[in-house]
Amino acid sequence: MRRRSILISTVVISCVYWVCESFMFFFLAPEANFIQHLLGPDRFNTLTRLLVLCLFAIFGSHIHYTARREQQAEETIRKSAAKSRSILESIEEGYFETDLGGRLTFASGPFVRMLAAGPIQVLGRHAAEFMAPESAERLRQVFDQVRSSGEVKRLSDCVVRDPQGGERRMELSLSLIALGEGEVAGFRGVARDVTERIFAEQERKKLELQLQAAQKMEAIGTLAGGIAHDFNNILMGIQGNASLLEMRLPEGHPGLEKVKNIEAYVESGTELSRQLLGFARRGRVDVRATDLNTLIEKTVGLFARTRKDIRVHFRLSPDLPAVEADRGQIEQVLMNLCVNAVQAMPEGGDLSLATEAVSLDETYSQPYQVKPGRYVKVSVTDTGVGIEKKNLSRIFEPFFTTKGMGRGTGLGLASAYGIIKGHGGHINVYSEVGRGTTFNFYLPASAQPADREKPARNPVIRRGEGTVLLVDDEETIVRIAGEMLRELGYTVIAARSGSEALEVFAARSKEIDAVLLDMIMPGMGGGELFDRLRAIDPEVKVLLASGFNLNGQAAEILARGCRGFIQKPFNLEQLSLKLAEIIPAGQAPGKPTAHPPPGP
C-alpha cells in the first residue's frame, strides 16, 4: 500500500510539472499550436522536460526503495521483539529490568507469576518490596555492588513473599544495562524459582539423616545386644549359685537374707539387661493380639495413682484394631514414656494419651524402614519443659540422658525405641522448649481379635527325673546349670561345644531325655546343632536357652520343632517348670511316647 502511494505521488508530481511547463509556454508563445504547447517549442526544451521527469523518476524510486527498507527493518524489529517476548514468556526463568533506583521498568510473565502479582502491581515498585527483610537488604547490597563493579552478581536463596503470605525461594543474576561510553540506564536480571529444588534437597537431607540415624541405632543396637548377652551369662552364674544356696540353707538361717539380697540385685541387673535387649530389638517373648486401649488404661491408670500432681487424660479411639505385641514389653514402653514425661514436669502438669487407627503410605513409611499399611498410633503428650533441638537427634541413643547424675540410666527411651522397632513399628518425637513433648509410636494393626489375659498362677518348683544333655560353651554356665539340674533330680551330661554335643548324642541318644541347648556358640551354633540332633532322633526334646530374647533366630528354631525357650539368667523355679513341660512326669527315664511338637 505504501509503495502504491509513493508511485502515484511520483506520477502526479510529474504530471503537475509537465502541465505547469506547458501552461507557462502558452503565455510566452500564444501563437504556438497544441502540440508545441504539450511538447515544448523546440527539441532542447523537450529534452529538458524529459530530463527533469527522469530526475523525478529517480527521486521517486529512491524514496520508494528507502521506504521499503525502513518498512523491512521495522518488520524485522517487530518480529524480533515478538520472538524475544515469546522466548521470555516461554522459559521458566523470569526476566526483569529496573532503573538505577531499583524500581521495576519491565517484567516478563514468568517473573510476574513468581511474585504472585499482576504487571500493574509490579511495574514502578522497588524489587526489594516483594522480598523478606533479610533478602531485601541483601538485594540492595547486590545492586550497589553491580553498579560499582560493573560485574554480574548472583544472589542465592532469596525469599520472596506473595500477597497471600506464602514464601518462595529464588536465585537472581543481576547486571548493568549499558548505553555506551560509561553510561548506564539501570539493571537487568534473571530470576529462577528454586522453591521445589530446595524443598527436594531438604527432603533428601532429611531422608539421609533418618537413614544415618537408623544405621547408627542399628550398630549401637548390635553392640548393646552383645553386651547384654555376655552380661546375662554373668548374671546366670550369680543367679544359679544364689538359687542353689537358697535351697540348701535351712529355714531361719541368717545367710538366707543375704541370698535374697543377691537375687534382688540379680533381678535389677536382669532388668538393665532386658532394657538393653529391648533396644537391640532381640525379639519378643509372648506375642498375642492385644487391645492397646485396655493395656493403656491399666498400665497408665496404676501409674497415675502414684502421682497426684499429674493430671492424666485419655483420648482413646473406640473400635481400635488389635496389635500383635508382647504385652509386657509394651507396658515397659508406656512406663518409660510416662516416667520421662513426669520427670519433665517437676511442678506437675498434664499427661495425655491418645490412640487412633491410621494408614501409612509408602512415602511416609520408607524413611522409618517399616512396611506401609494399617497401624495403631499411640501418642503420649506432656506439658513439661520440652527437649532442646540439639538433643532430639540423640534422644533414643542408649545411655544418653540430659538428667543429672543418679536420675536415670539413659536406657528408658532407648529400650522403648528398640521394642517398638522389634514389633515392626516405629517411634518419633516432637518437642518445643517450654511447651512440652509428644512421643508417637506406631504398631502394625492385626486382623485378629484381642486375646483375654490369662490368670496368673502360683509359682512352684517341680522336680523331675531323667537325663539332660547340657550344651554351653561357657564353663561357668555348664557348672552352675549342671548343679541346678542335679538339684532338680536330673542326671546331667555336659558338652562344651556343638561338635562335642553331637558326638555324645550320637553315642547315647537312647538314654538322653532332653537337651538344654545354648543358642549362641562359636563354631557350630544352636540352630545348626538342633538340625543335626533331629537328623539323629526326630523326636529329640530340646529346650533352647539364650541371653537374648525370643528373637528371629530362636523363633525359627522353635518353628522347626524345638520344644521350648528359656532366657538367661533363669532360676530353679523357671528351669523346673520349663523342663516339666517337655519331660512330663512318668515319661522319664527312657524315651517318651512320640507326639508332635508344640508350636513356638
Query: What tens digit of pLDDT does each residue of 536-568 get?
Result: 999 999 999 887 666 667 788 888 889 888 888
Distance CA 243, CA 53 (A): 138
Lowest mean pLDDT among 31-40, 170-179, 536-545, 574-583: 31-40
Determine the pLDDT at residue 28.
55
Mean pLDDT of 328-343: 87
Q: Give the confidence band of 600 by pLDDT, cuts at 50, 70, 90.
A: very low
pLDDT at 516: 94
Residue 349 clears pLDDT 70, i.e. is over it: yes
H or E element at residue 299: helix 292-305
Comparing CA positions, the residue from 358, 363, 387, 440 lying closest to residue 203 is 363
DSSP string covering 188-204: EEEEEE-HHHHHHHHHH
Percent of the chain with pLDDT over 70: 74
Give the separation between CA 340 and CA 346, rounded to whole angstroms: 11
Looking at this protein, which amino acid is placed at residue 29? A
Q: Does pTM surpass 0.75?
A: no
Give 230's pLDDT tier (boundaries 50, 70, 90).
confident
Q: Quote the pLDDT of residue 410.
A: 60
pLDDT of residue 595: 39
Per-residue pLDDT tens digits for 118-139? 666 778 888 888 888 888 888 8
Please determine, for residue 364, whether its predicted confidence score (pLDDT) is greater than 90: no
Neighbour-count burial of 442, counting CB atoms closer than 10 A to its CB (0-12 exposed, 13-18 middle, 19+ buried): buried
Is the Cβ–Cβ distance between 488 and 464 less than 8 Å? yes
Check whether 599 has a pLDDT greater than 70.
no
Q: Flag the least confident range among 55-64, 290-299, 463-472.
A: 55-64
pLDDT at 21 exceeding the cut of 80: no
Burial class (CB in 10 A: 0-12, 13-18, 19+), 89: exposed
Mean of the per-residue pLDDT values of the chain: 79
- Residue 494: is its pLDDT beyond 90? yes
pLDDT value at residue 593 = 40
> What does CATH list as the number for 91-193?
3.30.450.20
C-alpha cell at 177: 544495562
Q: Is the domain 205-279 a CATH 1.10.10.60 member?
A: no
**What local confidence, expressed as pLDDT, does residue 451 receive?**
74
Please give the Cα distance from 331 to 289 (Å, whole number): 14
Mean of the pLDDT values across residues 473-497?
90
Domain 467-582 is found in CATH 3.10.180.10: no
Average pLDDT over residues 495-521: 91
Q: Grid coordinates standing for 368?
A: 522409618
Strand partners, 518: 545
CA angle 404, 410, 415 (to 5 degrees): 160
Judged by DSSP in three states, 403 sits in coil
Q: Which of 4-13, 24-33, 205-214, 303-312 has the lowest mean pLDDT?
A: 24-33
Please, which residues bridge with residue 439 across strands?
380, 429
Of the two residues 302 and 409, the one the predictor is more confident about is: 302
With a cut of 80, say whether residue 197 has pLDDT above it.
yes
Q: How many residues are present in the chain?
A: 600
Tell me what pLDDT residue 320 has.
92
What's the pLDDT at 247? Answer: 76
pLDDT for residue 369 is more than 50: yes
Check whether 179 has a pLDDT greater than 70.
Answer: yes
- The crossing angle, in degrees rounded to 10, of helices 526-536 and 498-508 is 20
CATH topology of domain 287-444: Heat Shock Protein 90 (3.30.565)
Q: Are 465 and 588 in contact (CB under 8 A)?
A: yes
Q: What pLDDT is stored for residue 37 in this prediction?
A: 52
| pLDDT score, position 491 | 93
Higher-pLDDT residue of 362 and 81 is 362
Give tens-digit pLDDT for 67-99: 778 877 777 777 776 666 666 666 667 888 888
pLDDT at 381: 94
Residue 22's pLDDT is what?
63
Per-residue confidence (pLDDT) for residue 331, from 0 to 100? 86
pLDDT category of residue 438 using cuts at 50, 70 and 90:
very high
User: Which pLDDT score, from 0 to 100, does residue 468 have?
Assistant: 93
